Amino acid sequence: MQAARILTYSSKKQMNPDLSKRFQMWFSDPFEWLRHKKNLPEERQVSFDGGFVAMSMGCMLCERYFRAKTNTEKPLERGESKKKKNKGYNERFKREAAKELGISKSKFDIFWAVYRHGIQHQGMPRKVYRKYAGRTITYRSLMSENNTHTPEQEIDGDIIWIKISPWKFTKRMIELFERDSAALESGFHHAFADIFQK
């Protein structure tokens, strides 16, 4: 297995304190609250994990970060996507994310279909079926704190488990933004909302 490559995108530009504060308010702080089960009654802390919510956040941040890094934030108009110059437009961020995670683009595509598409479109990680040499292979999710931030595959007969730690994966995505002021600014060109309390 290839070791995960850590990318750092530095910017000479100083981090915008307002953006940094809002990013922390919307992502870093809720992530830490969920992870450490703060303010929950003890009997609920045993069964509560929050990893599912963290994984949803991690997938969203992954897409935002790598779309910012590959300049593919804006959806192409219907006719634009067919132009030769835009070939592979929606695949660029996936290639860059795969490199960051130290996996092949094809393994990233399966991970993305199981976790991101499953969670964001169906409310749960989904099963993905592929035919190989007359056999149907089922890709399934296996989230555990014991896994790494990198999606790993474990073969079990006709099932391939896509193993990941939702906490470690999401923490890695948060760290990428926190270290990169340019990505924070371009990745969140829609203004962070304010939270007002009465």
- For residue range 181-192, list pLDDT tens digits in order: 788 777 666 656
Amino acid type, 48: F
- The C-alpha atoms of residue 97 and residue 151 are separated, in whole angstroms, by 11
Which pLDDT value is given to residue 66?
A: 95
What is the mean pLDDT of the segment spanning 85-114?
A: 94
Is the pLDDT higher at 136 or at 17? 136
Banded model confidence at residue 4, pLDDT cuts 50, 70, 90: very low
- For residue range 118-144, list pLDDT tens digits in order: 988 887 899 999 999 999 999 999 999
At residue 58, the 3 state secondary structure works out as: helix
- For residue range 37-79, list pLDDT tens digits in order: 666 666 665 555 678 888 999 999 999 999 999 988 888 887 8
What is the mean pLDDT of the segment spanning 8-36?
A: 67
What is the mean pLDDT of the segment spanning 26-41?
A: 71
What is the mean pLDDT of the segment spanning 79-87?
A: 82
Banded model confidence at residue 23, pLDDT cuts 50, 70, 90: confident
Structural tokens at position 36: 């450490």
- The C-alpha atoms of residue 45 and residue 61 are separated, in whole angstroms, by 26
Banded model confidence at residue 195, pLDDT cuts 50, 70, 90: low
- The C-alpha atoms of residue 94 and residue 65 are separated, in whole angstroms, by 11
Which pLDDT value is given to residue 180?
A: 87
Q: 129: which strand partners?
A: 138
Task: Name the residue with tokens 């749960």.
Answer: 124
pTM of the prediction? 0.78
